[in-house]
Chain A
Amino acid sequence: MNVQLRDRPETASTTAIKTAIADCDIHPARATKDELYPWLAKRWHAHLETYGVPAYQGMMEGPPYPKAQPNASRRDAWPPEGGQQGSSLSFMQKQHLDPNNVVFGVLNPLGATGQGMRNHDLAAALASAINDWQIEKWTSKDKRLKGSIVVANEDGVTAAKEIRKRAGDPNYVQVLLLSRNVEPLGQRRYWPIYEAAEEIGLPVGVHAFGFGGNPITASGWPSYYIEEMVGHSQCQQTALASLVLEGVFERYPKLKMVMVEAGFGWAPSLAWRLDKVWERLRSEVPHLKRKPSEYIRDHIWWTTQPMEDPERREHLFQMIEWIGWDKLLFATDYPHWDYDEPSRVLPAGVSDANRQAFYLDNARRVYGVI
């Protein structure tokens, strides 16, 4: 977070990061509105200019919960050559990748990428374009960066085709979904996505955000941006419960999923609750062969940012003990405002092995990048 209000001694953080790190949540942006046009049929250029992007929300541009600062990004992240934060590779290298010794970065494109869109043909075209754009603008120019296969999430069959089209391409390390969709993520309409991801051997990242037309709480639409932000963890919990209870991990036993940018402190309590209720109600879900917590333990990883921030930091590390040091993937969320500074997230006292797993090795294993 780039606003430091708590009085915490500097000695609690490590010195600057000298060891190599993985950053599992980087947001590359387009510098101009027409940057995807080279990969889009002419028809869509005119469509975008005439009708825009029909989403499962009402705004023609910008979010209905206005961010706290432009593009939810760090105020120091505007590239000197212009364009929005996160749109310049050279500035990203200079500001983030080089000084923080990022040796492996996962790109998660957001915005009008084909996700959460009502026009499924346009969604498929945009998703495919953003995937080509990731190679052209980012991964081919900096070998540290790897892309995510963006899919038109509400059309599982078309999404699966896009995933298979990219099979074996070393530019991509995951398939990208968002947490808020038309239905909970375990529903069958999304199964072709999981089948294809399992088949080509890539994990599915579920990033917080998205629009699916449902109120973002089970009691209707809240008022504030902070409620949307905090609420990502609740949406992620219900999405994960759906994946487990629908039996997605029974059906796709090799599928790995990464929960991105929704916190992780909620994981133990959710797993305990699932297990307890499942003991009583297992006759309703006979397709589950194991305790819900076992599916979570075997199939789910979490990126770290935004790290929960207790008054007493040992509480956070007790929480991590319950989840497992092997399950967390370090992420900064660059260039967004609630960025976690790599040198500050782990205090002294964490073992070298856990530190190495947290910053780099877990990511290498999950994403198959050694």
Chain B
Amino acid sequence: MTSPILGGVDCDLHPAVPHLTSLLPYMNDYWRDQVTTRGMTDLVSQSYPTNSPISARPDWRPAQGKPGSSYDDMRRQALDRFGVAYGICNPLYGVQMVFSEDMQDAFCRALNDWLVKEWLDKDTRLRGSIVIPTQSVEKSVAEIERCAADRRFVQVLMLVMGDVPLGKRELWPIYAAAEKHGLPVGVHAGSAYHNPPTSVGWGSYHIEDYVAQAQAFQTQLTSVIVEGVFAKFPNLKMVMLESGFTWLPAFLWRLHKFWRGVRMETPWVDRAPLEIVRSNIRFSLQPVDAPPEPETLNRLFDHMQSDELILFSTDYPHWQFDGDEVLPKGLSDDLVRKIMIDNPMATYGRLSQSATKEMTR
């Protein structure tokens, strides 16, 4: 086993909204009335059914309520257990699934305010991601502007399967706002289910949806690279969360080959895809889709040709590993330090600002 070191950054924690009614205090009268009068149900996404084995590690499953809904549990099972300096909260509540942009907007605002009050205010180590109503770019930008003043928000959060590919120009004002505020855009596994959850249609099983997350990340990476997002926003970082990363080398070999062949179609892509990934894209550690033997994974790190791409994550409370084996076997001390501390601090600019502030205090 590779032991975690103290002072790391856990880049993927999932605090759970107990129920839609938990957000009512953060809605205005109109939306409170809509939720109650219309008898709306809890917004649990098929990406993570509450009782699915992947949605929570068996020993992280509480006796009552949703996994990840208790701050005390998260503190004990993740923050203290792995000795992190910071933990970034990525709420996966299913607000993206509704089709009304007004409702989506109201729910996102409530969710972000709930995160501040119920989580960030409780622990100085916790940081947040701004969940945005991506069906409306205008409202998404407004929500980023509203939340960015709170420096504890360190990222903008989107789902990997949304309404349109992430490189599409219509979304660029979101990236402009994120870049302006020094916020990376986190792209997390999960679907709004506004499109079929695989690129070849609707499958039959939950396991199929989950496996397909990795392919969705691949097509999104193609999209943001070839549309020229990083030519336009060179300082923007994107973090692929719960994406898996062992597919990355072979994916880039293929993308690179086609880019060389047909780059005349997208002439604004003025750097090789691999270089764009090295400068602008990062990946969370979990899940590690590789055999447990260290040789395979170390070979894959060699194929990635960079030790700066991976950011430490537990994916709490999702079940990606057992015991304390959050780091795969066979990582060098140097790589552990990079994954746990250096890479996240370099990615999330607002973390190093607060670290500096604490040191000078």
Which A residues contact B (CB, under 8 angstroms)? 1, 3, 5-6, 68, 179-187, 212, 214-227, 229-231, 233-235, 237-239, 241-242, 245-246, 263, 265-266, 268-270, 272-274, 276-278, 280-281, 283-285, 306-311, 315-316, 318-319, 322, 337-338
Contacts and interface: CB of A to CB of B under 8 A. Distances in A.
Given A218-B195, A222-B165, A184 B200 contact: yes
B210 interface: yes
A181 B201 contact: yes
Q: Top 10 A-B pairs ranked by shortest CB distance?
A: A265-B250, A308-B253, A217-B219, A273-B289, A238-B198, A234-B215, A269-B247, A309-B257, A218-B216, A281-B207
Interface in B236-279: 244, 246-247, 249-251, 253-262, 264-266, 274
Interface string B106-126: 000000000000000000000
Contacts of B191: 218
B351 interface: no
A187 B289 contact: no
A269 B244 contact: yes
Nearest to A242: B203
Given A284-B205, A338-B258, 6 more contacts: A218-B199, A220-B194, A222-B165, A226-B226, A266-B250, A285-B205
Interface string B210-231: 1110111011101100110000
Interface in B169-200: 191, 194-200
Nearest to A217: B219
A284 B203 CA distance: 13
Given A218-B199, A309-B253, A226 B219 contact: no
B54 interface: yes
Given A226-B259, A229-B258, A273-B214, A319 B250 contact: yes
A315 B208 contact: no
Size band of the B side of the interface?
Answer: 35 or more
- Which of B52, B196, B208, B244 has the most C-beta atoms of chain A within 10 angstroms of its own C-beta? B208
A181 B200 contact: yes
B260 A3 contact: yes
Given A187-B204, A245-B205, A308-B254, A273 B303 contact: no
B297 to A, nearest CB: 10
Given A220-B165, A224-B266, A269-B244, A233 B254 contact: yes
B206 interface: yes
Contacts of B91: none
A237 B211 CA distance: 9
- Which of A212, A217, A274, A338 has the most C-beta atoms of chain B within 10 angstroms of its own C-beta? A217
B199 A235 contact: yes
A179 B198 CA distance: 12
B219 A234 contact: yes
Contacts of B15: none
16 contacts: A68-B264, A186-B203, A214-B199, A218-B195, A224-B227, A226-B259, A231-B222, A238-B215, A245-B207, A268-B250, A270-B211, A273-B244, A276-B287, A284-B207, A306-B258, A309-B253
